[in-house]
Structures are given as structure tokens and as C-alpha cells.
Amino acid sequence: MLIAGGVGLFWLYDYCVNTEGISLYYSLKTLLIFHCGLSFFLFSIIFIVNKRRKQHTAFAFMAGFVLRFVAVVILSLPLVKTVSPSPLYEMLFILLPSFYFTTIEAVLAIQLIK
């Protein structure tokens, strides 16, 4: 699911940037490395906590949730000072993948708890 999501995001980003002509502050590779790298890190935390202390898996998910949105806010800070021709697309390309990967993490955490 993580790889399929990364490929889907790359296809969507590529379509919007190349076909629609949308210019973004961050490049496609930067956004994909950010989202996929962060997701891999947070999945690892959830798996490690689940293996060592199964009863704390939900807390690991919540910690990952907080870390993800702190990272998204930090990634979005440079956008405040830039004049972007399409600020809506900038935020959508940062926030929508975060919700997608958070949903996958939630499903994974629920399956691990059961």
C-alpha cells in the first residue's frame, strides 16, 4: 500500500505539474521523498512498538500522527513567505498525501492491535 500510494502520488504530481502547468515551490522528488520517507519512519516506529510492547501500539500511532503533522507544518513554513501563483495547489500537494498515509497507518495500527 505504501509503494502503491507513492507511485500514485508521483503520477498525480507529474500529471498536475507537466500537463496542467502548475509550478510548485517544492519539486516532485522533494515532496515524494518527504512523504514516503516520513511514512517509512513512522511505520517502523509502529512496528517496533508493536513487537516490544503490543499494548502501546495505539500510542505509537498517535505519536506518529503528531510527528507527521509537526513535520507538515515545518515543511509548510517556507511557503508563508513566498509568493506562489497557486497556493492552493501547494497546500493540497502537502496535506492530501499526509491524510492518505495517516489513514494507511491507522488501518495498519488497528490490524496490529487485533
SS (H, E, C) the chain: CHHHHHHHHHHHHHHHHHHCCCCCCCCHHHHHHHHHHHHHHHHHHHHHHHHHCHHHHHHHHHHHHHHHHHHHHHHHHHHHHCCCCCHHHHHHHHHHHHHHHHHHHHHHHHHHHC
pTM, two decimal places: 0.80
Q: Which residue has the cell 488501518?
A: 107
Cα distance between residue 112 and residue 50, in whole Å:
7
Per residue in 10-66, pLDDT (tens digit) is 788 778 777 877 777 888 788 888 988 999 999 999 999 999 998 999 999 999 999
Whether 71 contacts 42, CB under 8 Å: no
pLDDT at residue 42, rounded to an integer: 93
pLDDT above 90: residue 97: no
pLDDT at residue 62, rounded to an integer: 95
